[in-house]
Amino acid sequence: MYKVFVNDKPLFLTNQVQKETDFKLFLLESVDIKKLIVKIFQNKIQKAFLYHPDEKLIMKTLRAKLPVEKAGGGLVFNKNGDVLFIFRNGKWDLPKGGTEKNETIEETAIREVEEETGVTGLAITEKLQRTYHIFKRNGRYKLKITQWFEMRTKFEGVPQGQLDEGIERVEWVNPKDIKFLLENSYENIKLLFENELIHNSF
């Protein structure tokens, strides 16, 4: 199952019919995907399932309907085991950004963390999951696919937020405080930590 967030509301791409009653279920063959996205954006639908026996076909169809932006991001640990967070647009987030020409997604992720936080000496230690987010820019809906990486650094300087990206603060956060920060974060970031709970002891 793919979990795509439309303005922080979940759209599940699934090959299983769920029995939950508060979700609306749509069939890939009969739904107008763009109209469905607009309805979610307009708060007419709070959460939905998009069903087809082949999950990958649903994602392929979604990618064909919307322009795709690829991004890379970092879940960064320092030598004390603290995690690097940024504060932007009134919410806690992780550093990430779009790919540039001829860049690998790994290069994108490292460059974006460095640019957005000033933290250097980054080494990728693990490839994490992808997250999916539909947003609207200049009147057009786009699908952002972010590939996340776990990174480590021995950086000991003071992180600096990238002001022209609207980053007000950069903080190293003790794992025991992360749950509290996530109360004011995005669903994709929460999802990332839910899955990280399996590997680490947040």
Burial 37-49 (b: 16+ CB within 10 A, else e): beebbeeebeebb
| Nearest-angstrom CA–CA distance, 85 and 134 | 22
**What is the full per-residue pLDDT of the chain (202 aa) written as tens digits?**
999 999 899 999 999 876 766 788 999 999 999 999 999 999 999 999 999 999 999 999 999 999 999 999 999 999 999 999 999 999 999 999 999 999 999 999 999 999 999 999 999 999 999 999 999 999 999 999 999 999 999 999 999 999 999 999 999 999 999 999 999 999 999 999 987 654 454 4
Q: Please check whether residue 112 is in contact with residue 73, taking contact to mean a CB–CB distance below 8 angstroms.
A: yes
Pairing of strands 96-98, 91-93: unpaired
| Nearest-angstrom CA–CA distance, 202 and 199 | 9
Structure-token match 């063959």, residue found: 29
The structural domains of the chain, with segments of one domain joined by +, span 2-65, 69-199
pTM: 0.91
User: Any idea which architecture 69-199 has in CATH?
Assistant: Alpha-Beta Complex (3.90)
| Nearest-angstrom CA–CA distance, 174 and 149 | 19
Structure-token match 């963390």, residue found: 113
Burial of 179 (0-12, 13-18, 19+ CB in 10 A): exposed
